[in-house]
Structure 1
Amino acid sequence: MLKNYLKVTLNNLSKNKVNSFINITGLAIGIASCILILLYVVRELSYDNYHQELDQLHRVAILDTPDNLGQGIASISYPAAEVLTEEFPEVEQVARLGQLFDQDPAIEIDDRLFAEDRFYFADNSVFELLTIPFLKGDSETALSAPNSIVLSEETARKYFGNIDVVGKTLLVNFNNMSTDYQITGVVRNAPENTHFKYDVFASLDNIFNGLPAGFADAMKSWYMYRFWTYVKLTPGTDAQAFEAKLKHIEQKYFPPTRSNVHLFLQPVKDIHLHSNLNNEVEPNNDIRYIYIFSGIAILVLVIACINFMNLTTARSINRAREVGMRKVLGAHRSQLMSQFTIESLLVTALSVLVAFGLVELLTNVLNDLTGLQLETNYLQSAWLPIGFVFLTLIVGLLSGLYPAFFLSAFQPVKTLKGAFARSSSGAGLRKALVIAQMAITVILLVGIVT
């Protein structure tokens, strides 16, 4: 029976090439658009998921307003890290990152000058707390000594053409002074899906080089919030309970003029989509946009399915005689519904295949236009066959059940006599689908304009 259904379906597709092309192409474009949007959503949701022991990693941020309301600050005071390490057994590790005020260090090599805006002064523990794999050098000691510097793979190749650079020196200019730094390591490039992208690390204490004594002391005080501070909590520590204990730091160490401060934790995995504080490492996204884009993906797919349903039912007169003949020859309505459903599933399967091809072709174009780094790794995934079957079933059944129900309901005597007329209920539903399609389109257009 299934073989017969497939044979009839293929014959119908080949006899109606133009209509089949329109159906497959329209559905494929809708599915491809949906997949491309979801690739972006998946990328945004994957931020910082590559870190080991991710659930234990947090950033300490601060509110410093009279009513403890407001936007907050992503960086905190320099001495907080030492207190966190010494006075809280729940803290397994602490790492600080800092950058210069209103300037980027300039690195000089053979009379060439490179300004690096992703240049961070850091504790050596940053390589253990965050997942930053070393390609060259020792991660345990790379930034332990003053005037030490670690390069990303891309930066090392930019400066020297290779990554065998440990032991070489660089002249670094900032704060009106030049200092020779020894390269102690090369790390893997920061992935695109991280809130913290880096090119160069230098020993943390070197950030104070060349500063007036008074200003350096101010940077090391509790008054200034200049250092992004990450903590790794011990396994089993309740982050919310630990956060409540930070009140101890607020009361004991902050000066009376900072009596309104409030320290709080941010899970590293949530920073990109749930943090919009002052002095972020880099601009973050907003989870609300992810919800919006997910909704757009669903609406685009719904429009494609409605379009498929309308095109299929619009050809009802052409299929009426076929249905009447089959019923006269003994076909039951359930058999006809199975026939039309299989036809819908086959068209959908072809559309999904075309959609995958379109996604592969358009991803690089979209990346070039937007600067994103969308990946189509799913095309090499072992889950691809499952995804293909799931997508085909969902879209095929969603867009095919109504046409199957509608076409299989034709009365054989009327259709064979040529007295077929569209039912008012069927026409009403088709009008409702068209109105829904137009409404969704208007909503999307208004969303784009606003």
Structure 2
Amino acid sequence: MSAPVVVSGLGVVAPNGLGAQDYWSAARIGKSGIGVLSRFDSSRYPSRLAGEIHGFTARDHLPNRLLPQTDRMTQLALVAADWALADAGVRPEELPGFDMGVVTASAAGGFEFGQGELQRLWSQGSEYVSAYQSFAWFYAVNSGQISIRHGLRGPSGVVVSDQAGGLDAVAQARRQIRKGTPLVVSGGVDASLCPWGWVAQMAGGRLSTRDDPASAYLPFDRRAAGHVPGEGGALFVLEREDVARTRGAKVYGEIAGYGATFDPRPGSGRPPTLRKAIELALADAGVRPGDVDVVFADGAAVPELDRIEAEALTAVFGPRGIPVTVPKTLTGCLYSGAAALDLATTFLAMEAGLIPPTVNTEPAEEYGLDLVVGQPRAAEVRTALVLARGHGGFNSAMVVRVGRPAETRRS
């Protein structure tokens, strides 16, 4: 049996909190970070709300030389990586570079940086376009800049699967650790709250156009009419459990199981495959449905997608068979950062013995879910399931748990 892979450090950048503790202080009581977008004038767009990070000044955290060559997305990711490594008690400069890797997820790349350079191209000419445009927009730039900043020279990469990417990246990091890389930084951070990025997100047809933050993003509610986008995410330090414990690191929990599927094309007549992803993750973890204490759901707030997710959950766990929560109602959907933030929230919930609430939603009875709404719910959370879906058919499921039972049970 492969050695358990655990999370020993986490860094969070979220609309309702910078740093894991500030974020958890907000999430546990249902404090929202969603409001009217202020990074540009959104008044002439159909969608005007976002989960925007306020109070983040890159120069307070990063050297000046990095600022002109990085998009806001990358600046947030670099800080999250710094915090995750510090939380894990890891000093990369003291470790062999080839023993450390980085695998991140990206859904959009550096949209804001790219928009600025396109404006210079058309208004001033090609000679005014920054040389940094060659990489600052790129999907892999977060992995690259984190690698350079900390000397992480081991197996690395980037995963592009929209909102499923945060889980897919962590799963890839787990594979690399099982193959022998001692430590991998992984997760996802996205930020594309600029006019170009905004238009791209609206083109998907899933953004809420409501102006009231209390009614804009309502997963599993009859009033559901799309999600609110946001920026941010979370990064983690992953390593083998025995290595982490030997050096006295805090262990948040184990990445115990993972499953991923891809839906058939629309109109094919074949069923969606989210349920299969859940079953694969449970089997990989060696747990039964009854062993799982809570589900952190994807919560698309699109009626058809909510129905598909609810049917998958009731098929596996039974009607109202398990507590379900969607804490991203506090932040908006952060694209590649969405599932990564859910994963961080799961570990913080395990530590606190508290399931954070889904806010504003009035759960529709026909979905058959035990949705945690309004107030947090005290509960012992030792095993949790995190779900994520990406536009176009990506489905990912991850089982995490505290510690490891002496004898794993197979389904």
User: Which of structures 1 and 2 has the bigger CA Rg?
Assistant: 1
TM-score normalized with structure 2 length: 0.22
